[in-house]
Amino acid sequence: MALNGIKVVEFGGQAPVPFAGLVLQDYGATVIRVDKPSSSSSDILSRGKRSVAINPKVPSGLEVLKKLIASSDILIDPFRPGVMERLGLGPEVFLGKTGKPGLNQKLIYARIAGFPRIGPYKDMAGHDINYIALSGALAMLPGPNERPGFPLNLLADFAGGGLICALGILLALFERQSTGSGQVVDIDMVSGARYVSSFPLMHRLYQSTSLFSGKPGTNLLDGGAPFYNVYTCKDGGFMSLGCLEPQFFKTFIEHFVEALPNDSKQRFGWTPDPSVQFDRDQWPKLKQYLEFGFKTRTRNEWEATFMGTDACAIPVLTPEEAKHLEPSGQLYPSPHPKIASQSQQSPSPQSNELLLLTGKHNEEILRELGLTNDECLKLIRDGAMEGVKSKL
């Protein structure tokens, strides 16, 4: 595995941070999640990780965390700007500052914030929908009643946050090979969402094409084009249609027309041919025709019609149906990309918990750090840690 031997400390947080940690763990890193004592975690992105529950606001707990981070390669900070500094765990403690060495000058210190660290929003709370709102991307997403729609919490939390964070960490690790030094990697989800939205934003801002020049829901890739859309079938299932290129649209429309019942063709009173694809005046009529036609057959029947063709017509699977794409029908997505030179295997559902019990690995991690029984008991007496569940 590419990241074997890399040690990661992930402070417990929401969505982007555990996803960044999961990506690193899936490719061989050892990830320890730092939780608050007495907290319960509902984080489902914790497979393969370990948890230590310790309070950094207690001096003895703070010292243990410093020791843990000093022996690690990567720290992932999920908090608002300034929180880690106030806890006494800021970057300068480990990376040092002018004239003063730090505890771990090879540390990659990754920080995920919501809003940019400079500007009027830097100290404000927010969530994915707020970050994509500020990024300019949300305004381009079509939704009901002429309001922007939003794609779950995928764009900022996971694409612009967690995945960009993992990328930044890998770049810093690569640079460390030549410099021998760690560094701070700053990620904010507004900027990350903008970066992963480069294609539509650049088309819109530079007006190089008319691809995204219209209102949301009227353009080629946002539901405006009838040949790039989702349609309801007879049984309530859905088919996705994405035949942008003329040759693909020709394949689609020929198969579609041929598959319609004879009486359906007569009832609609119009049959499109490939020449109507980019005639915008015909789009409303073509869309009505496709809506009407898709409702004459079930999703599975349409899937069979287009299977093996270049029509770009694919059934919309539910999450339960899509799990057949995973090895052994496991419930969660496999790590991706697959790297041929590595013996990477998807974790077994039986051997990997989806939910990680807070503090489950307290004793194991303290032993690895070399703490004695007396030092462990002191943590409990100080209130830095709850009872370590073994023979101390």
Q: Is the pLDDT of residue 236 over 90?
A: yes
Q: What is the mean pLDDT of the chain?
A: 91
Q: Provide the pLDDT confidence category of residue 344 given band limits of 50, 70 and 90.
A: low
Domains contained in the chain, CATH given? 7-196+330-382 (3.40.50.10540), 228-232+238-315 (3.30.1540.10)
Q: Residue 220 corresponds to which tokens in the numbers above?
A: 């080629």
Question: How far apart (Å, rounded) are the C-alpha atoms in residues 277 and 249?
Answer: 7
Question: How far apart (Å, rounded) are the C-alpha atoms in residues 87 and 349?
Answer: 37
The rounded Cα 352 to chain-centroid distance in angstroms is 20
Q: Residue 96 corresponds to which tokens in the numbers above?
A: 């040092």
pLDDT: is 390 or 214 the higher one? Answer: 214
Q: Is 231 helix (H, G, I), strand (E, B) or coil?
A: strand
Q: Residue 367 corresponds to which tokens in the numbers above?
A: 């032993």
Question: How far apart (Å, rounded) are the C-alpha atoms in residues 146 and 216?
Answer: 8
pLDDT (mean) for 264-284:
90
Query: Catalytic positions, please?
Result: 127, 157
Q: Is the pLDDT of residue 371 over 90?
A: yes
**DSSP category for residue 262:** H
Q: Provide the pLDDT confidence category of residue 38 given band limits of 50, 70 and 90.
A: confident
pLDDT: is 1 or 328 the higher one? Answer: 1
Query: Are 91 and 117 contacting, i.e. CB atoms less than 8 angstroms apart?
Result: no
The DSSP result for 164-221, as a single string, is HHHHHHHHHHHHHHHH---EEEEEEHHHHHHHHTHHHHHHHHH--SSTT-S-TTSSTT
Match 């994915």 to its residue by tokens. 128
Q: Is the pLDDT of residue 350 over 80?
A: no
Q: Residue 349 corresponds to which tokens in the numbers above?
A: 């559902």
Q: Is the pLDDT of residue 99 over 90?
A: no
Q: Is 75 helix (H, G, I), strand (E, B) or coil?
A: strand
End-to-end CA distance of the chain: 35
Q: H helices of 241-372, where?
A: 246-259, 262-268, 283-294, 299-306, 319-322, 362-368
Q: Which amino acid is at 110?
A: A
Q: 371: how many CB neighbours lie within 10 A of its CB? A: 19
Question: How far apart (Å, rounded) are the C-alpha atoms in residues 159 and 288?
Answer: 35
Question: How far apart (Å, rounded) are the C-alpha atoms in residues 142 and 145?
Answer: 9
Query: Are 6 and 74 contacting, i.e. CB atoms less than 8 angstroms apart?
Result: yes
pLDDT at 329: 66
pLDDT at 145: 87
pLDDT (mean) for 81-97:
95
**DSSP category for residue 342:** S
Model-level pTM? 0.91
Q: Provide the pLDDT confidence category of residue 349 given band limits of 50, 70 and 90.
A: very low
pLDDT at 20: 98
| Closest to 259 in 3D by CA, of 211, 316, 200, 300 | 300
* Residues in CB range of 97: below 8 A, 6 or more apart: none
Question: Within 13 Å of residue 27, how many CA atoms lie on the same side as its CB?
Answer: 19
Q: What is the pLDDT of residues 147-203, one digit of tens each?
A: 999 999 999 999 999 999 999 999 999 999 999 999 999 999 999 999 999 999 999
Question: How far apart (Å, rounded) are the C-alpha atoms in residues 36 and 283?
Answer: 56
pLDDT at 343: 60
Q: 181: how many CB neighbours lie within 10 A of its CB? A: 14
